[in-house]
């Protein structure tokens, strides 16, 4: 246990727990644009502009008072094809998480239904999601964008962690990393280069940079049960 109280590890979903060359992100962009055109009469260019100005298209719709059904928008645009499968190596790594001393949550900018589908495709849903450890999604943080520190303040309160410094975000998105750091969190960026080809070594707000989620135990060992302890527990169980 970290000094000062319980700690928390927040894992982003898309392009963090898996990586498929940002194909899912591209499909989501297209899905949002199609929804805006079909249901709201907004052009692709306008939907992109809303995203760039406000962090998410949804926040842009609200900021510019464009009539929409928030729930229908979120659930509809996230129904995209997922082209990745189970990750046995990730499953093995997650099996070593120390849930006894830490709060571990999936924290997504999307909706829980989309994140859960991703976790099911990866074969890790039951490892990360339980009734006691629900996914934290855009609805959970009162529709705040992860581009803003308020989302992280709310997420921290949801897991009842006393200090921001006891919270760690693992994410691929540089803007999310910057917002988490502004909220006082520790940060781990996944990917040595950004989606746009920028070297992560230049991201000052990242406390750690890793190439893939599989490297997490090497930089955050405090969130994992050590191999020796696991082997001892397994031997004890066999003896009993």
Domain boundaries, the chain: 7-20+85-233, 23-77
What is the value of pTM for the model shown? 0.90
Residues 221, 150: Cα–Cα separation, whole Å: 28
At 84-116, the pLDDT tens digits run 999 999 999 999 999 999 999 999 999 999 999
In Å, the largest CA–CA distance within the chain is: 67
CATH of 7-20+85-233, one of 3.30.70.270, 3.40.50.1000, 3.20.20.70, 1.10.3720.10: 3.40.50.1000
Whether 229 shows a pLDDT value over 70: the answer reads no
Over residues 129-136, mean pLDDT: 97
Identify the pLDDT of residue 56: 87
At 112-128, the pLDDT tens digits run 999 999 999 999 999 99
Residues 166, 78: Cα–Cα separation, whole Å: 31
């Amino acid at each position: 246990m970290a000094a000062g109280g319980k700690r928390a590890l927040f894992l982003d979903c898309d392009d963090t727990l898996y990586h498929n060359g940002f194909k899912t992100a591209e499909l989501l962009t297209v899905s949002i644009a199609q929804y805006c055109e079909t249901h709201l009469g907004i052009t692709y260019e306008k939907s992109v502009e809303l995203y760039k100005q406000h962090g998410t298209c949804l926040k842009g719709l609200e900021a510019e008072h464009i009539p929409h059904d928030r729930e229908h928008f979120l659930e509809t645009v996230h129904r995209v094809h997922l082209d990745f499968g189970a990750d046995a190596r990730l499953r093995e790594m997650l099996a070593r998480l120390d849930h006894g001393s830490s709060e571990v949550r999936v924290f997504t900018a999307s909706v829980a239904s989309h994140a859960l589908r991703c976790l099911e495709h990866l074969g890790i849903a039951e490892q990360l999601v339980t009734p006691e450890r629900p996914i934290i999604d855009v609805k959970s943080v009162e529709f705040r964008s992860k581009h803003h520190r308020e989302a992280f303040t709310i997420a921290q309160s949801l897991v009842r962690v006393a200090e921001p410094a006891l919270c760690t975000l693992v994410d691929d998105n540089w803007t999310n990393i910057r917002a988490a750091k502004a909220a006082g969190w520790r940060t781990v960026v996944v990917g040595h280069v950004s989606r746009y080809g920028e070297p992560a070594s230049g991201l000052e707000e990242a406390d750690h940079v890793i190439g893939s989620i599989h490297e997490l135990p090497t930089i955050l060992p405090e969130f994992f049960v050590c191999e020796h302890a696991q082997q001892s527990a397994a031997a004890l169980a066999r003896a009993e």
